[in-house]
Chains A and B, each alone.
Chain A
Amino acid sequence: MELDIHTIRKDFPILEETVGGKKLVYFDNAATTQKPKIVIDAITDYYSAYNANIHRGIHHLAEKATAAFEDTRKTVKTFLNAASTEEIIFTYGTTDSINLVANTFGKKFIGEGDEIIISTLEHHSNIVPWQMLCEEKGAILKVIPINEDGELLMDEYKNLLSDKTKLVSVVHVSNALGTINPIKSIIDEAHKVGAKVLIDGAQASSHINIDVQDLDVDFYALSAHKLFGPTGVGILYGKKDLLLAMPPYRGGGEMIKEVTFEKTTYADLPYKFEAGTPNIADVMAFKFAIDYINTIGKENIAEHENQLLEYATEKLEEIPGLKIIGKAKEKVSVISFVLENIHPQDIGIILDQQGIAIRTGHHCTQPLMQRFNIPGTARASFSVYNTFEEVDSLIAGIKKVQKLLS
């Protein structure tokens, strides 16, 4: 279905903003997407009409707030096709979700000499928690290499797997290069040796349909703010039997059944992993973001984004001295590039002067940048509200960068 992008743009108030007198061109969607008005309004509405602490209160407001909060859980369950809402845990973001698994599953099931496999494409948030765990436990971190196009070397991956492998934690879509990883086969191969799999879905969830049951994935982590939702809300999907076997993460209110000074028993799933008052307003507003995506249709969003990706790739490749980093056959709408003899930071500053927001630097993937032997890249990432005219502005902007900096 052909989307009416100009109507969609009207849903996002921020797109009307100007930067130094120029129309904002927002191409930093891989860092965070903008928020539609219904999400912004939902937050205001919550604080204006039914702010209350959830789950314990018996008054009207508390019940209304609890219902709204749990509605989001149901919506996320359907969004990921999880078997039950008990498998949907609210966290503060993908980083928090990964740390939760490292500190619970990792604490209990990973020991000395065990191996954890990650990949060269990982964001620091899917590297550091495992390094910390390995250091504590005497476990070993193994890394799947990639080819020049930024694709995982699957044969190398299979060679890394053994009965020592306890966990494979791999990104679904690379935030820096846009590569879509073949997670179905990654999961199947890991299961053959009895390893569990965590997929970092931060970058994938706005572009790709996710069916956790079909994937048979053990853990799937994502962040609301990359899906038109608020910051400070993340999801950890986990298979029920695993979540039941895992110790709690943080201790506190909400996560208990009964507390005495001698012993505490823990709450049932999913509350066992949700200590303290959660980010109620933003969790509640996240439902509206998912509803928004469902109304437009993820396939339609992906189709538009792919058209932008194709168009931009073609136009960028025509620019002399420009090299695209990451040419995987399967990609989402993220383009990383470098310009000959020009530092990415200079590209970012001159584009910013023209109202064009991209990201420059290492994208929290320093080992990946080391792999390509570059200090960083300039990265443009597209979302459903971006237009072909905006891509043209980017191309003109880059030409200006080259003119000024040559």
Chain B
Amino acid sequence: MTINEQQEELIENFELFDDWEEKYEYIIDLGKKLPGLADEFKTEDNIIKGCQSLVWLNAKFEDGNVVFEADSQAIIVKGLVNMLLQVLSDHTPQEILDADLYFIDRIGLTSHLAQTRSNGLASMVKQMKTYALAYQSLGK
């Protein structure tokens, strides 16, 4: 699936929900389903700065694609991270760099992804793009 197809699928899923509770039950469920990271990857270097809860992001380069793994102390953040991974993981560096993440706005979760000190998931997107850029320059 392309990045935009993934985004459309997430948007469609969220359209089914009638209220905030159903929406959050879904996000929490996504949080629980995210495999997370082994302790060896929960290093200081992998911490995303600017989040109220600790968020770790690790990346590897496999068959020309960037594959992300992530974890968080907070379950809702973990659910949001899972969505970001569904959309951006396992794509080429160029696809990741070109990605316009409109699904965040469309499913009405902007407040949790906004660039505030407490909800720094925007810094996570930035870090994912930084990895993509690094792998792209390695590939060249």
Point out the residue from A20, A344, A346, A405 that lies within 8 Å of B20, measured CB to CB: A20
Chain B, interface residues (CB within 8 Å), range: 10 to 19
Q: Decide: A361 near B28, CB < 8 A? Known: A343-B73, A345-B52, A353-B20.
A: no
Point out the residue from A20, A343, A353, A405 that lies within 8 Å of B53, measured CB to CB: A343
A-B contact count (CB 8 A): 43
Tell me the complex Cα distance, A20–B19, Å: 11
The reply to whether A345 and B28 contact each other, CB–CB distance below 8 Å, is no
Q: Decide: A346 near B74, CB < 8 A? Known: A353-B24, A404-B28.
A: yes
Binding site secondary structure of chain B: helix
Within 8 A of A (CB), among B72-114: 73-77, 112
Chain A, interface residues (CB within 8 Å), range: 10 to 19
Query: Is B21 an interface residue when CB atoms closer than 8 A count as contact?
Result: yes
Within 8 A of A (CB), among B109-140: 112, 118
Query: Is A129 an interface residue when CB atoms closer than 8 A count as contact?
Result: no
Query: Is A252 an interface residue when CB atoms closer than 8 A count as contact?
Result: no
Query: Is B25 an interface residue when CB atoms closer than 8 A count as contact?
Result: yes
Give a binary string over B64-75; 1 marks a CB under 8 Å from any A CB, 0 the rest: 000000000111
Q: Decide: A405 near B28, CB < 8 A? Known: A343-B74, A346-B74, A346-B75.
A: yes
Query: Is B59 an interface residue when CB atoms closer than 8 A count as contact?
Result: no
Query: Is A375 an interface residue when CB atoms closer than 8 A count as contact?
Result: yes
Within 8 A of B (CB), among A330-383: 342-346, 349-350, 353, 360-361, 375-376
Tell me the complex Cα distance, A361–B21, Å: 23
Tell me the complex Cα distance, A353–B24, Å: 9
Counting from the closest, the 9 A-B pairs by CB-CB distance are A343-B74, A345-B74, A345-B53, A353-B20, A345-B52, A346-B74, A361-B52, A346-B76, A343-B73
Interface residues of B (CB under 8 A from A): 20-21, 24-25, 28, 52-54, 73-77, 112, 118
6 pairs of residues in contact across A and B, judged by CB atoms under 8 Å: A344-B53, A345-B76, A353-B24, A361-B52, A375-B54, A405-B75
